[in-house]
Each structure stands twice: as C-alpha cells, then as structure tokens.
Structure 1
C-alpha cells in the first residue's frame, strides 16, 4: 500500500445545501459512499482504507443535515432531487466527470436515485440493506400511516411530525443512539416474538422497545462517542427531515414511475435485517428493476448495519464488484 492510500483527508465542497463535508482516501476511480440514518461518513470507516488499498479514490460524505455538512431549515430542502444534486456537485468538485455510487439505508435510496436521474454521472450503483424500488405507487404517508393498525404506529409515521421524535431523543442522544443501533443489529436485536422496535405503541416512544445495557459487537464505546458527539452538536432534525420529505419526492419523481436502473449494480443485504426481508418482493423484481445487476448477496446472520457488522465480507464484495464494473 502506498503512503497516499493510507492518508485520510477531510474537506468541504460547495453544494446547493451550502456545503457538503467529505472524507477522502486513496487514488484511482472515484467511489462515492453515502450513509444512512442515523449515521455519518464514519459509517464507512472500514471501507475507506480497503477501497484505497484496492486502487480506488474512496470518498464518504456527510449527507446534508448531518455532521459537518450544512443543515437547511425547510423540510423541502431534504427532497431527493436536492440530495442527488449534492452528489453531483461532490463529483464535480473533486474534478471528476463520473463516479460509482454506493449507499447504505437511506444512502442506498439516494444512491439509486442519483443513478436513475443522473446516469451520465453515476455509471454504476451499489445498494446496501435497502433494495431498489422504482418511484411510483401510493403516496408514502398513506402507506406508512396504515402500517401497524390502530394499536401501533410505524416509525416512519412517528417521525413525520416535526419535533416529536426530537423530543424523545434530545434528553439522552447517546443512550437513544445506542438503543437504536442495538435494536437493528443481529447480535442484540429483540428476540423473535418480542415487540417490534420498528413500531411505537400508542402513547409510547420508540425507545420503549430498544434493547438496553449492551452494545452490538460492531460498536465500541469510542465509535458510539463519535456518532453521539455529532448528533449532540447538530440535533436530529436534519436527519429526520429526510423522512418528512417523502411525499414531496413522490410528487417530484412521478414522471419516473416504474423506471429501472440500467447501470451495472450490486445489492448486499442482511438475513436478519427487516429492510431486506420486508422488501423481498423488491429483490425478486430485480430482473426487471435492476437489469444491470452484477451480483446480489444476502449475508447470513447479519443485521441492518451491514458494512459495520460484516466489514470484511462487505469489503471483499465491493472490491470484487468494483473490479468488474470499472475495468
């Protein structure tokens, strides 16, 4: 490995949000890494050195609303069209014409739409945890409101009212994050048959169903300090506004209803991750929705935080896929 590949560089670039903070390591073809909720560029700490060592310019961003990136106030500032434009601006600011984009959780959806809307910039797309589902269908808020019936409320619906989830999180950001991460990790998630942490009992909070007292194996106290430190500084409103902009996306992207992603693509999910299991139909539809699919993997015994729970497996899969799509 060269000395250059071992160096991590922090910088900010101008975007419609104001600024996007990024972390860069290595040189070669550009690979843009986009995190999910509630995370940061730090979610890719295991992938940055591995991709750099394999001969890539690995760049992990703080999505707008997170970390050191700008946090616009209006909910509309978190619509998918603006997040895609942020990614385009990052590629251009780095002096590149195109990139491979890889995302996890919400980052997977942002990566997919970046590839859908700007195929001339994003020539291949990797999706971790959340399968691609084309735009269209019912209005998102209607779907999420119906989930859970009368006794429970789906977490996405719970997040919709500004200030409501913030009031739950703010008194103990570190403890809330620890519980959220544990709830979706294979080694600490609630046992089958226990109340589902994706739902809130009427009058309750999400935290009521979080595991307590044990961090998942992938998350050290120091790692938790990094995440907690960022959200204690920024709050969670910017992150939560992504959920609050979903109906606006539904309107913005209506012309793309049913559209496939035709670029070379990758999917990696976890067998214990609800994002993978609940969306099994989306995975089955890949011959139609991802006609350029190069590889699809479901990691046995893995939860939601896939690139942190199983970094060696994910690094190997990414490097092998990148070799195929950047040759």
Structure 2
C-alpha cells in the first residue's frame, strides 16, 4: 500500500493505492469528514484479491488540491475528477465505490459515464433522484418542518462561515462528528441530523464525546493533522453547492443507472432518518441492483466499523460481474 500524488486535468490528487497495476481498477470515494485513508481495509482486501485499488483524497481534502471558489465543488467537478483520475491511471474502465458524500459522486459517475464506470456500489447514502419540484435546500426545510425535529444540518452548512466552527477546534470537531454518527454510540447520544433551536451540528453533540471503538488515537491523529492543514471550507463547499448541482443536472432528470449496482447501509446509520426513504425505490433507479444489504449494529462509518462485512459484500458484488 502506498501514497502518491497524480496530476490530472488541472488538479493534483493524492491517492492511497495497492494491488497489481494490470488488475481491474476499483476507485473508492470517501465522504465527510474523511480521507482516502478511511478505505485502508478495503484497499488491502481488494489488492489481495487481485484488483488495483485506488482511494483518492477528494477535491478540497487532505493532500489533494483545494480550489478557492465555492462553485468549484459541484457534482460535475467531482465526477470529472474521477474521470480524469481513471484516465491518468491509464485505464478505460473501472468499478466505483462511494461512501457518504462519496456515494452521490459514485452514483453520478455511473449515471453519466456508464462507458467508463462499469459498476457502482454505494455505502450509507442511496441514490436520490433529482426532484423537479424545488432545489434540495427547499425540500430539506420542508422535511424539517414535517418531522418537527429542528433545523437540518445541511441547511445550517449553507452559511458562508459554517466551516469556521469546525476549524476553531479541529480535534473536538472531528471527535464529535465521528461519535455522533457511530453505531456504537448509545441511541440517545447519536445524532439525527436535525438540530434543536440554537444548536449547531457540533454543539448538539456532548462535549465528552469519545472516539468510536474502531478509531485508534494514531488513526485519529492522521485526520486531525490533515484537517488542521487543509481546513473545512472546501468540504463544506460541497454542501453549499447542492442547489447549484440541482440546476446543473436538469439534463439528468429521470435518467436511470444502467450499470450493475449494489448498496450497503448500517441499521443504526442516522442518514436513514432523512435519506432512508430512497432505499425502498432504489431498484427503480438502478434496475440492475444486485444486492441491497443492511448491516446490523453498524452506524454511518460502515467500512471502518465493520470492515470484514463490507469487504465480503464488496468482493461478492464484484464477483457477480
């Protein structure tokens, strides 16, 4: 397993990779607030199975370039980065896997470039078809009102200075974030994604939040060092582009995913509170959905909480191809 930097079209990406270079390429896309290192267990398992596994730090994260403008973080940029990465690696086909924010990127890779991405697996976040009714933030406010649980964190992230709270104490922000969405966290301390009046995502989590049992101090230190250096503006710009994404993807309205697909989610994942409604209709939008699995006891950080189960599901899915 090695880390290196690859120059693509206008972007230098840091990647974690292993496996034979002539093996089938599998690209693993992380979410928030994570890095390519969140896929270590999968990179190792894929490499041992003969695949060429590559997990990049995504645009705005870690060792990859951090564009300065908010509008440089749209879904089209993120998909384009993966297209460029595959080309820079000398491949014309690959499999794509995404977790959290990386899942929408992976779904859209398969949706828009089925010629390049021959299969897709989403973790934690199901494919969510574009709604013609209104931009996402409008629909999210309506959902907040309907559920009566408070302000939705993604709406709070729209504020241009929302990242500053995370940067004021990086270690505390990361510890609270991992704790709030982990499967081992007691139910009454796990986040719902909705904030009571006067609370933010971070202030809604107890100050004594502990690291998840799978997160060693050394591993946590890698995250703290990376986000101390890179900050949180770029990662939150992903969220601040969601309405722009909606405007840019009108041409994809009602388009379905044509390639083989799979989905994996933890039964204790808070994302299911607000995105779980899309799980039931996933096969309508990905007709070649070959597996849809709920892992008992797992929270949001599924590939790190239950790496053996995720590895088995991933390799099992790839074997069907």
TM-score for both structures, normalised by structure 2? 0.93
DSSP-derived class of the 1:148 partner: helix
For 2:129, which of 129, 134, 148 is the aligned residue? 134
The runs of at least 4 aligned residues of structure 1 exceeding 6 Å deviation read none
Deviation at 1:197, TM superposition (A): 4.9
Counterpart contact for 1:147–1:153, Cα < 8 Å: no
Deviation at 1:147, TM superposition (A): 4.1
1:66: which partner in 2?
61
Deviation at 1:277, TM superposition (A): 4.8
2:18: which partner in 1?
25
Given the superposition, is the C-alpha separation of residues 229 and 108 from structure 1 closer, same or farther in structure 2, using an over 3 Å criterion? same
Q: Are 1:172 and 2:165 counterparts?
A: no
Given the superposition, is the C-alpha separation of residues 280 and 166 from structure 1 closer, same or farther in structure 2, using an over 3 Å criterion? closer
**Rounded Cα–Cα distance in structure 2 between residues aligned with 1:302 and 1:161:** 31
DSSP-derived class of the 1:206 partner: coil
Deviation at 1:280, TM superposition (A): 3.3
Given the superposition, is the C-alpha separation of residues 16 and 159 from structure 1 closer, same or farther in structure 2, using an over 3 Å criterion? farther
**Rounded Cα–Cα distance in structure 1 between residues aligned with 2:8 and 2:93:** 17
For 1:316, which of 306, 312, 319 is the aligned residue? 312
1:264: which partner in 2?
260
Counterpart contact for 1:271–1:299, Cα < 8 Å: yes
**Rounded Cα–Cα distance in structure 2 between residues aligned with 1:309 and 1:153:** 28
* Bigger Cα displacement from structure 2, 98-107 vs 143-152: 143-152
Cα RMSD for the two superposed structures: 1.7
* Bigger Cα displacement from structure 2, 11-20 vs 59-68: 11-20
Counterpart contact for 1:25–1:48, Cα < 8 Å: yes
DSSP-derived class of the 2:184 partner: coil
What runs of 5+ residues in structure 1 fail to find an aligned partner?
1-7
1:143-182 deviation per Cα after TM superposition (whole angstroms, max 9, x unaligned): 223343498321001100111x222112211111011100
**Rounded Cα–Cα distance in structure 1 between residues aligned with 2:237 and 2:230:** 13
Deviation at 1:139, TM superposition (A): 0.5
Deviation at 1:255, TM superposition (A): 1.3
Taking the TM superposition and a 5 Å limit, the aligned residue runs for 1:126-165 are: 126-137=121-132, 138-149=134-145, 152-163=150-161, 165=162
**Rounded Cα–Cα distance in structure 2 between residues aligned with 1:239 and 1:313:** 28
TM-score for both structures, normalised by structure 1? 0.92
Q: Are 1:199 and 2:197 counterparts?
A: no
Q: Are 1:12 and 2:5 counterparts?
A: yes
1:210-254 deviation per Cα after TM superposition (whole angstroms, max 9, x unaligned): 142421111111111111110001100010000001111101111
Taking the TM superposition and a 5 Å limit, the aligned residue runs for 1:159-308 are: 159-163=157-161, 165-191=162-188, 196-211=191-206, 212-308=208-304
1:4: which partner in 2?
none
**Rounded Cα–Cα distance in structure 1 between residues aligned with 2:194 and 2:115:** 39
Counterpart contact for 2:190–2:270, Cα < 8 Å: no
Number of matched pairs: 315
**Rounded Cα–Cα distance in structure 2 between residues aligned with 1:317 and 1:204:** 38
* Bigger Cα displacement from structure 2, 230-239 vs 282-291: 282-291
Taking the TM superposition and a 5 Å limit, the aligned residue runs for 1:91-102 are: 91-102=86-97
**Rounded Cα–Cα distance in structure 2 between residues aligned with 1:51 and 1:81:** 27
DSSP-derived class of the 2:62 partner: coil
Given the superposition, is the C-alpha separation of residues 277 and 166 from structure 1 closer, same or farther in structure 2, using an over 3 Å criterion? closer
